[in-house]
Structure 1
Amino acid sequence: MLRSLALLVALSVPVSGLAQVTTVPQSQSQIQLSFAPLVKQAAPAVVNIYARRVVEARSPFADDPFFRNFFGDMQGRPRVQNSLGSGVILSADGIVVSNYHVVGQATDIRVVLNDRREYAARVLLADEESDLAILQLEEAEDMPFLDLRDSESVEVGELVLAIGNPFGVGQTVSSGIVSGLARTGTATGNGRGYFIQTDAPINPGNSGGALIDTAGRLIGVNTSILTRSGGSNGIGFAIPSAMVQQFVTQARAGEIRFQRPWAGMTGQPVDADISDSLGLSLPGGIVVVQMHEASPFAAAGLEPGDVILSVDGAPVNTPPEMIYRMSVRGIGAEAEVGFFRDGAVRTARVSMIAAPDSPPAERTTLGAQAVLPGLTLARINPAISAELGLGTQAEGIVVLDPGPYGARAGLQAGDVILSIDGIEIISPTEVERILRRAAPRIQIDAQRGSRRLLLRFRV
């Protein structure tokens, strides 16, 4: 009796100014509270994906004439790679979202529904950087599908379910909460963007599966985990539904490559030291370091030294966060950017544009009779720079594909050719002429990232 009285007194003690109230379940339904109705509603729209790709096994000496004279044709036999993952149906006509690393470059894709129906599928739009792919089921109609919820409304602490096909054992469901938002650069996998973090267990095969809320709406696509052992340790990552919606929009518009708005600038996160030097009250935002003259931020009035604080009211603290915010707005839209300058917070309207393909890239591939056959070059412009990640200040002629002989000479895609035999390169179209003039002993001065290269070889 005394123990019961003590328990009642303990339950009535205020916690943080509020009285903790306990109640006894009033009905059988409350006693049997479960996720079963939610799973029955959402599970039919989560599918298993079986992807197959044919890859050519090549000897590293296959292109070397010396070894080919001794061993003949050294091309290996093609071999088949299989991958297993999950996907989510997003419309009645069979639009499916999954991860790029599940279906990227696949030659045959089979999608199996929860009721064992099976469909062939083709990729409409895929992007390795975002690790997303949009598929179309062939001859599909009246498919079960999940509605998208705006991931901007998701809050830390919300209950979520992860549905997928881990280890190929069949569809499984795990529960957890949203344990973090705005995670960037922390996940293992192809995705290098912005993630929702969850403690719902995510294991191999869950990739491309659904992260849903308690109303059965899709808030994210499970993509990767943070692990040291290879299994789920309670830190999983999902690509937000806002990005998924932008992919679906572009896929339905007929795009085959994801069009990401171009910032035309470089920046770095603001830490405590930088915030003190700039007069910010708290660390946060991105300080603009360099800016291309054609940048839409420059056109809106921003300058190097400004600190970008927000995009459309959402705070941004890393460059990937800013690019994510721009990407979900989409090309052709405008975003309101908040920035700090001279002790005051200001705003500007910034247009979301594609990287300009000017001046003309002049893509050039050297022919079979050239000194370096197969070598593909282009003039650096904002579009080429964005494609290869060269930075806003890169200029000159860049290698798109070294070709077999260029690769043996040491060239790689992304190398910026500064000169050949001491002659500065002005246009990709003049490279073949200068190579012939320099042969048989060729010297190429190139830039690879922050390193300067001097390649000498004989042809």
Structure 2
Amino acid sequence: MKQTIKMMAVALFAGAVTLGGYKYFIEPDQAVATITQEERPNFIPTNFTTSPVSSTNADFTEAAEKTVHAVVHVKNTTISRQPTNIMEYFSGGGKPRAIVGAGSGVIISPDGYIITNNHVIANASQLEVTLNNNKIYKAELIGTDPNTDIALIKVDAEEDLPFIPFGDSNNVQLGEWVLAVGNPFNLNSTVTAGIISAKARDLNRFDRNPQSFIQTDAAVNRGNSGGALVNVRGELIGINTAITSETGSYVGYSFAVPSNVARKVIEDIMEYGDVQRAILGISGGTLNTNVADELGIEETQGVYVASVEKGSGADKSGLKKGDVIKKMDGIVVRKFADLSGYLNSKRPNDVVDVTVMRNGREKHIPVTLVKLETYEIQDLGLEVRNANAALLKQRGVEHGVIVSKALSKDMARYNLEGIIITKINDEKIEDIDDAKRIMNKRDYNAPIKMTFINQRGELNSFIFR
């Protein structure tokens, strides 16, 4: 019996030694190699957090349902005269003929305010709006802004109307899913999907009126103009306005006025009756490698300040020629369209924080924006604006208005931007109101004489016949 107990004790001792050795020499190595799901190190650059804005599995049904009832069909009736003989052709007579155009609009308030494109309602003698429920209303034109191609109309309905809330177009991101809602080819309530392809896209218009469109690949065709570009939350981030195509139909590119710009325009129209434009008071251009080499600077992105207008907000705040604007209120400025697009959403007397690179160092300069007061002299093909006293003194004149841009390709050839018009028909010009008064009372059969100081300080006159 004792022998049996001894053998059992030896066996137990041997087993304990064997198990201890296994634990000490073998199992630690396996423990290092064995990682539970909770303990997995996150050295792999993968983000499993998905957002409804960027997920490829995004559900568009909720956004479509929220927005489709607030996008309307806008019909524009214009009256033209069709000549029936050679005399009517030269005299402008003829039989009246109604021409109906169509586009889209977005209800932005329950009391019936609708935003659309200016080109959708241009020259309208009658406006008609059809809702998604097939109810038809006569619409009233409240105001327009041809520069941004935005117009505001209104219908009077007996009940509150569905509307789309504004989103912040400054926050849209490349690759973000969007929906275009409109009425292409008279097909009511059409929804197409795409992504944000680019921001602050300038279509390089000849009139030097820089735009800042949101570019998307959501399908947009004739009839979509004035419709909504929305994110997957159903927020309005743009007004569909244009496409580029050799055929006139969608081929992959469409452009929308950012919602921040559209909202500012219609708020100005409602409050002031016109659009309050704000400027920094600089001239300049977009940088790239070639331009940077010519200027002898290292920056290849941003807006180079070529000159600062005397007496402007930029001048008073300390912006200087040679500065490179990199940000506006923290918004990155890579090109001039970024800058102009952001300023289009601001008002006179707003203060913006301008981040510039100067001599290799970053500076933050608060600038108070000033009002851009302009007048288009159609008969001269020129847009003029008021000049402040400091600028007039710098140019060596006591009065006049400055030409801000040409209104046609023909006038753009003469490089008149920056000249100061001192007289029209030998009458002194103090401001744009004088220019309006003289042009309104002139003899339309007589030529127009324009006296001006050119960029070199020389006195000249043009006769327009």
2 CA distance for matches of 1:151 and 1:250?
Answer: 18
1:175 correspondence with 2:200: no
The equivalences for 1:398-437 within 5 A come to 426-427=428-429
User: Which residue of 2 is the match for residue 208 of structure 1?
Assistant: 226
Amino acid at match of 1:339: V
The equivalences for 1:38-437 within 5 A come to 38-55=63-80, 74-77=91-94, 79-139=97-157, 141-185=159-203, 192-253=210-271, 255-276=272-293, 280-355=297-372, 381-382=386-387, 396=400, 426-427=428-429
Deviations 1:176-226 (A, max 9, x none): 111111211269999951111111110000001111111111111111112
2 CA distance for matches of 1:379 and 1:190?
Answer: 14
Q: CA RMSD in A?
A: 4.6
Contact kept in structure 2, 1:131 and 1:190, CA below 8 Å: no
Residues 311 and 226 (structure 1), Cα distance of their counterparts in 2 relative to 1, 3 Å cut: same
Amino acid at match of 1:44: H
How many matched pairs? 380
Cα distance, 1:415 vs. partner? 10
1 CA distance for matches of 2:181 and 2:89?
Answer: 51
User: Which residue of 2 is the match for residue 3 of structure 1?
Assistant: none
User: Which residue of 1 is the match for residue 51 of structure 2?
Assistant: none
1:35 correspondence with 2:44: no
Deviations 1:354-377 (A, max 9, x none): 1368xxx9x99xxxxxxxxx9999
TM-score relative to the length of structure 1 = 0.69
Residues 376 and 98 (structure 1), Cα distance of their counterparts in 2 relative to 1, 3 Å cut: closer
Cα distance, 1:169 vs. partner? 2.6
Cα distance, 1:312 vs. partner? 0.9
2 CA distance for matches of 1:302 and 1:43?
Answer: 46
2 CA distance for matches of 1:180 and 1:376?
Answer: 33
User: Which residue of 1 is the match for residue 15 of structure 2?
Assistant: none
Deviations 1:231-276 (A, max 9, x none): 11111111111112212322332x2221111333211111213334
Residues 186 and 98 (structure 1), Cα distance of their counterparts in 2 relative to 1, 3 Å cut: same
Contact kept in structure 1, 2:308 and 2:319, CA below 8 Å: no
Contact kept in structure 1, 2:401 and 2:422, CA below 8 Å: yes
2 CA distance for matches of 1:268 and 1:245?
Answer: 27
Contact kept in structure 2, 1:94 and 1:140, CA below 8 Å: no
Residues 280 and 416 (structure 1), Cα distance of their counterparts in 2 relative to 1, 3 Å cut: closer
2 CA distance for matches of 1:148 and 1:290?
Answer: 36
Cα distance, 1:116 vs. partner? 0.8
Radius of gyration: which is bigger? 2
Contact kept in structure 1, 2:201 and 2:337, CA below 8 Å: no
Contact kept in structure 1, 2:72 and 2:104, CA below 8 Å: yes
Identity of aligned residues (%): 28
Contact kept in structure 1, 2:142 and 2:152, CA below 8 Å: yes
Contact kept in structure 2, 1:130 and 1:191, CA below 8 Å: no
Residues 161 and 448 (structure 1), Cα distance of their counterparts in 2 relative to 1, 3 Å cut: farther
* Stretch deviating more after TM superposition (77-86 or 228-237): 77-86
TM-score relative to the length of structure 2 = 0.68
Instruction: Give structure 1 stretches of 5+ with no counterpart.
Output: 1-15, 22-31, 62-69, 365-373, 384-391, 400-411
Contact kept in structure 2, 1:101 and 1:190, CA below 8 Å: no
Cα distance, 1:130 vs. partner? 0.5
Deviations 1:412-436 (A, max 9, x none): 9x9976789xx9764479999xx99
1 CA distance for matches of 2:212 and 2:385?
Answer: 28
Cα distance, 1:228 vs. partner? 1.3
Amino acid at match of 2:179: L
SS at match of 2:311: coil
Amino acid at match of 2:322: G
1 CA distance for matches of 2:373 and 2:155?
Answer: 34
